[in-house]
Amino acid sequence: MTDSLPEVERVVRTIARTAVANEKYFGDLDAVVGDGDFGYSLARGFEIVLADWDGFDRTDSSTFLKKVAVVITSRIGGTSGPIWGTGFLRAATAAAGKTELDGPTVVAMLRSAAEGIMTRGGASLGEKTLLDSLVPATDEIESQVAQGNDTLTVLRAAAAVARTTADDTAKLQARRGRAAYTGERSIGSVDAGATAVAVLFEALVQEWQGGPS
């Protein structure tokens, strides 16, 4: 599994387009126990990423991701901007100095992103956040990479785990964000952020099934 700048661009573009396309869906999920602005905030931020697409510095993958992170942090409202921006920034930092991103490096980028989100949001696993989908999916990617599987196989496996674990957040009580104020009433509904992670992985599978960009 080797990623270079064009493939990093492909991932980010897919994430951005998917976030915009799922604005209402993500918002509706968030409105169950949250304030309902997740879908709107994510869509507005990634719209700007797409609008500014041609102007990003593409010196290398790390630089490109850092520029995207700045837009996300500064232009996505609420708590989503700092959290998602931190994830992109930490991934960029893990990719620094590399022009070709192999499987272990991609895993390191995702691990770093998750750690940054944990620190920024003060969240841990089991607290009904996007981490409850992102971390298990990353574990699966690491396992698939170790087996030497191709990118599409890795993505399919990660997407399956992301979806299962996102659905499983319905069993959890929210401990972070606006949803935490609802206490036990948050049990029974899935977390919007975790579900977004699953949707994004599924979109990447669809993108890679389509062949080269």
The mean-pLDDT minimum among 39-48, 107-116, 204-213 falls in 204-213
Whole-model pTM? 0.91
Supply the Cα-derived Rg of the chain in whole angstroms: 16
The whole-number average pLDDT for the span 102-127 is: 92
For residue range 26-57, what is the model confidence (pLDDT) as tens digits?
Answer: 999 988 766 678 899 999 999 999 999 999 99
Rounded CA-CA distance 197/154 in Å is: 15
Domains identified in the chain, total number: 1
Q: In Å, how far are 27, 30, 79, 98 from 41, measured between CA atoms?
A: 9, 11, 9, 31
Q: Which of 91, 90, 99, 94 is nearest to 58 (CA)?
A: 99
Report the length, in residues, of the chain. Answer: 213
Torsions phi, psi for 101 (to 5 deg): -105, 105
User: Which two structure tokens, joined as six digits, stand for 121?
Assistant: 């949001």
Element (H, E) at 193: helix 192-209
| Residue 174 clears pLDDT 80, i.e. is over it | no
Q: Which domain holds residue 160?
A: 5-209
Q: What is the CATH number of the domain that holds 52?
A: 1.25.40.340
| Residue 184 clears pLDDT 60, i.e. is over it | no
